[in-house]
Structure 1
């Protein structure tokens, strides 16, 4: 079962639900932020939006929602957890991922397609992808500027925990390819175990060719194949 968290201000929860249930045929359920458990979820997705209106800073209040205690438990048990955009911010605030997301360097909201190079295939969300391949996935955020201290960035690089990196159409990680000024063009990272991934781009918005591209479907197919191989969830 796919648990899709819902906070006051979430606006991509239905996109994730549609991708899981209607595109991939999975059992998907909304889980309200005040609930104490995500139930028997095989996969937890913390979706994008503006949880609690992004007051204080993005994700800062959502991380105290009752349901997040169970998300921490699920992550500790090794089950896949994906944070998308605001969800990435929430996971960082909850301490499940290192670093923080700051205001875009341009101080402007970024809404465009971005090219992402797959840097690691050692996560459930990328195990079905090829290292070095480039996906086109939309971004839509005002606070997507990933930052961490130099030691943390070096550790993430050295441990293969940078999952996605912004690149140009040729696959080069030039500074202007990052729509937000992220350190080292980082678009997504994983925890040490690899089961928790946060990414700023929105794969749930490009799961059908009718929408102009389906590269995001590769991310979901990867995790569903991973679950199918591990505990019988339908692929």
Structure 2
């Protein structure tokens, strides 16, 4: 991706979602670019992330904590805790579904946000918020649904690109915390990548030492991207 072929914009400073005492800025690929579907795969390779119809990369003036990370699908082996997670959820059906809004998904999404982000402005997501954040007309998105019988327990929003999957977002029933459905979603995305012969599962950003991000280091071998390119994360 060369800057003479696509425009990049830098956002104004805004509150950081991970550190209360910091501000953040993003680089955003021109959302009006006509070839976003073609740019998406190369952008993932360079550490970008999709949110709604935007491809962005954190670019803060005084912080470089956000580090792109991805799972090596072929070399990944679940650890003991992850194997227990698979066993706990062996009663679930995993369904590859077309991405998009419906009332059932929206109701689960609202419940999840009310539990995870109470009073933060995200907990009143209407149908347009659902569509705007989770899908884009140019994005190759599918929804992995996790069902117990007819009951929808979770959805892993997954973008399927030419050389890998991007784990965009997962939402699930907040009453089912003992199932560890967030972990289960990533494990299912690894299996989806293997079925489709794709080498990578892009997990967005990892922040060293941050409690909300620490779970990602358990999916080994995990690669991180620095200015030198991608390399395996060194285990402590």
Would you say same fold, with TM above 0.5?
no
Greater strand share, 1 or 2?
2
Query: What's the TM-score, normalizing by structure 2?
Result: 0.31
Specify the structure having the higher radius of gyration (Cα): 2
Using CA pairs under 8 Å that are at least 6 residues apart, name the structure with larger relative contact order, 1 or 2.
Answer: 2
